[in-house]
Amino acid sequence: MSDKGLLTGEHFLLGDYAAAEGAILVGCRFFAGYPITPATEIAERMSTRLPQVDGIYIQMEDELASMNAILGASWAGAKSMTATSGPGFSLMMENLGLGIMLETPCVLVDVQRGGPSTGLPTLVGQQDMMQARWGSHGDYEIIALCPSSPQELFDLTIRAFNLAEKFRTPVLVMTDAEIGHMTERVVIPQPEEIEIINRPQVRKGDVEPDHFRIYRDTDTDGVEGTVSPMAIAGEGYRFHVTGLIHDELGYPAMNAESSEWNIKRLVNKIRAHRDEIIQLEEQNLDDAEIIVVSYGISARTSQWPIEQARKEGIRVGYLRLITIWPFPEKRIIELAKRIRAFVVPEINMGQICLEVERCAAGQAQVLGVNRLGGDILEPQQVLSAIRKAAGRSDQPQTDLQNRQTER
Q: In the range 323-382, which residues lie near other proteins by CB under 8 A?
A: 376, 379
- In this complex, which beta carbon is closest to other proteins, that of residue 166 or of residue 246? 246
Binding of other proteins at residue 69 (CB under 8 A)? Answer: yes
Q: How far apart are CA 103 and CA 90, in angstroms?
A: 20
Binding to other proteins (CB under 8 A) within 227-246 occurs at: 231, 233-244
Minimal distance in Å, beta carbon 103 to other proteins? 13
Minimal distance in Å, beta carbon 284 to other proteins? 15
The CB density around residue 231, as the number of other CB atoms within 10 Å, is 23
Binding of other proteins at residue 72 (CB under 8 A)? Answer: yes
Binding of other proteins at residue 218 (CB under 8 A)? Answer: no
Binding of other proteins at residue 52 (CB under 8 A)? Answer: yes
Reference 308, options 367, 394, 372; nearest CA is: 394
Binding of other proteins at residue 78 (CB under 8 A)? Answer: yes
- Applying CB under 8 A, the site for other proteins has a residue count of 76
Q: What is residue 354's three-state secondary structure?
A: helix
Partners of residue 11 on adjacent β-strands: 186
Binding of other proteins at residue 44 (CB under 8 A)? Answer: no
For residues 282 and 294, is the Cβ–Cβ distance under 8 A?
no
Total residue length of the chain: 407
Minimal distance in Å, beta carbon 390 to other proteins? 21
Element (H, E) at 153: helix 150-167
Q: Select the span of 63-71, 340-348, 349-357, 393-401 touching other proteins (CB under 8 A).
A: 63-71
Burial code (b: 16+ CB inside 10 Å, e: under 16) for 43-67 equals bbbbeebbeeeebebbebeebbbbb
Find the binder of other proteins among 133, 269, 273, 300 (CB under 8 A).
300
Binding to other proteins (CB under 8 A) within 193-212 occurs at: 210
Find the binder of other proteins among 9, 116, 138, 391 (CB under 8 A).
9
Q: What is residue 49's three-state secondary structure?
A: helix
Amino acid (1-letter code) at residue 147: P
